[in-house]
């Protein structure tokens, strides 16, 4: 299997606190993986390091065999590393479609003016086609003209994922995509992930293991900044250290 992204001794310290400690994390192309771990165990910080929002204190990151440790976030998006953005930056007075296109434009290399963009027919056609395809993937094609403020919480989450999917990433990092959703909405997001993973390598952070064991092929467990266990979901769930970390010493053996 071809390695897509890998970290080597990756460490991030905030003042005295080590949020990510000597992490060697690897994802192969086409593999759907999950990262689980208690609150504060460093999962989001790891994504921030992978996507370039934080520079590591120590260690290195490679993507498709190339060192990207010092590569800026926008350049990582251009290489194919996509992560979801919180909807705070979405304009609630605009429609789903307008938000998608605007967000996509922000990441077009060298695109400094919206006006100029609309005169470049070829690029405009490509961006609009990418956005239309992404809306289909996340099941929002029927709601393209709806205002974002009319969307349910689950549909807003779908739009967040649609925005990053429209950038056609090779690697899609989803940070707790199921958090705060109803069971029905969770099923929709899980179905969408199952559909999209044929085209893109997906890594999902999730707090509750039960929600993603059926979706992922590999699981990694973080605890206090360290990667304490990796393997198939079955292997991980039977690991005594993981069981103790999640369920305490009385956690039943497999």
Rule CB under 6 A: which of 62-91 touch ligand ADP?
none
Phi, psi of 86 (to 5 degrees): -65, 150
- The partner in contact with residue 5, picked from Mg ion, ligand ADP, none with C-beta cut-offs of 5 to 8 angstroms by kind, is none
Q: Which is nearer to ligand ADP, 155 or 206 (CB)?
A: 206
SS3 label, residue 227 = strand
Q: Return d(Cα 94, Cα 100) in angstroms, integer.
A: 10
| CB 126, CB 108: distance < 8 Å | no
The distance of closest approach from Cβ of residue 14 to ligand ADP in the complex, given in angstroms and rounded to an integer, is 4
Residues 6 or more apart whose Cβ sits within 8 Å of residue 111: 105, 117
- The partner in contact with residue 42, picked from Mg ion, ligand ADP, none with C-beta cut-offs of 5 to 8 angstroms by kind, is ligand ADP
- Return the bridge partners of 174, or none: 204
Rule CB under 6 A: which of 27-56 touch ligand ADP?
37, 39-45
Q: Which is nearer to ligand ADP, 14 or 118 (CB)?
A: 14
The distance of closest approach from Cβ of residue 105 to Mg ion in the complex, given in angstroms and rounded to an integer, is 28
Q: Return d(Cα 186, Cα 192) in angstroms, integer.
A: 10
| CB 148, CB 96: distance < 8 Å | yes
Q: Return d(Cα 189, Cα 208) in angstroms, integer.
A: 15
- The partner in contact with residue 75, picked from Mg ion, ligand ADP, none with C-beta cut-offs of 5 to 8 angstroms by kind, is none
Phi, psi of 166 (to 5 degrees): -65, -15
Q: Does 11 bind Mg ion (CB under 5 A)?
A: no
- The partner in contact with residue 30, picked from Mg ion, ligand ADP, none with C-beta cut-offs of 5 to 8 angstroms by kind, is none
| CB 19, CB 42: distance < 8 Å | yes
Tell me which of 10, 19, 134, 212 binds ligand ADP, using CB under 6 A: 19
Q: How large is the angle between the packed helices 153-165 and 183-196, nearest 10 degrees?
A: 10
Site string for Mg ion, 35-54 (x = CB under 5 A): --------xx----------
Q: Which is nearer to ligand ADP, 96 or 236 (CB)?
A: 236
Q: Return d(Cα 203, Cα 174) in angstroms, integer.
A: 6
Q: Which is nearer to Mg ion, 155 or 175 (CB)?
A: 175
Residue given tokens 């304490």 in the structure block? 228
- The partner in contact with residue 39, picked from ligand ADP, Mg ion, none with C-beta cut-offs of 5 to 8 angstroms by kind, is ligand ADP
Residues touching Mg ion: how many (CB under 5 A)?
A: 2
Site residues, Mg ion (CB under 5 A)? 43-44
Site residues, ligand ADP (CB under 6 A)? 14, 17, 19, 37, 39-45
């Amino acid at each position: 299997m071809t390695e897509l992204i890998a970290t080597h001794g990756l460490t991030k310290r905030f003042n005295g606190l080590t949020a990510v400690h000597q992490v060697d994390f690897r994802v192969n192309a086409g593999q759907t993986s999950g990262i689980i771990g208690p609150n504060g165990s460093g999962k989001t910080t790891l994504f921030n390091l992978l996507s370039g929002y934080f520079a590591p204190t120590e260690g290195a990151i490679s993507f498709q065999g190339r060192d990207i440790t010092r590569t800026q976030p926008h350049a990582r998006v251009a290489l194919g590393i996509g992560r979801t953005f919180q909807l705070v930056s979405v304009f609630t007075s605009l429609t789903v479609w307008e938000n998608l296109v605007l967000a996509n434009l922000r990441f077009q290399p060298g695109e400094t003016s919206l006006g100029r963009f609309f005169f470049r027919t070829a690029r405009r056609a490509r961006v609009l086609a990418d956005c239309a395809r992404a809306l289909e993937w996340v099941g929002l094609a029927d709601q393209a003209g709806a205002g974002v403020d009319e969307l349910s919480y689950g549909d807003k989450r779908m739009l967040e994922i649609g925005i990053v999917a429209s950038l056609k990433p090779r690697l899609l990092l989803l940070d707790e995509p199921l958090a705060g959703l109803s069971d029905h909405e969770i099923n929709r997001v899980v179905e969408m992930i199952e559909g999209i993973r044929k085209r893109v390598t997906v890594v999902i952070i999730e707090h509750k293991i039960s929600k993603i064991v059926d979706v992922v092929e590999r699981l990694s467990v973080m605890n206090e900044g360290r990667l304490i266990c990796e393997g198939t979901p079955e292997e991980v769930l039977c690991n005594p250290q993981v069981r103790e970390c999640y369920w305490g010493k009385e956690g039943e053996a497999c």
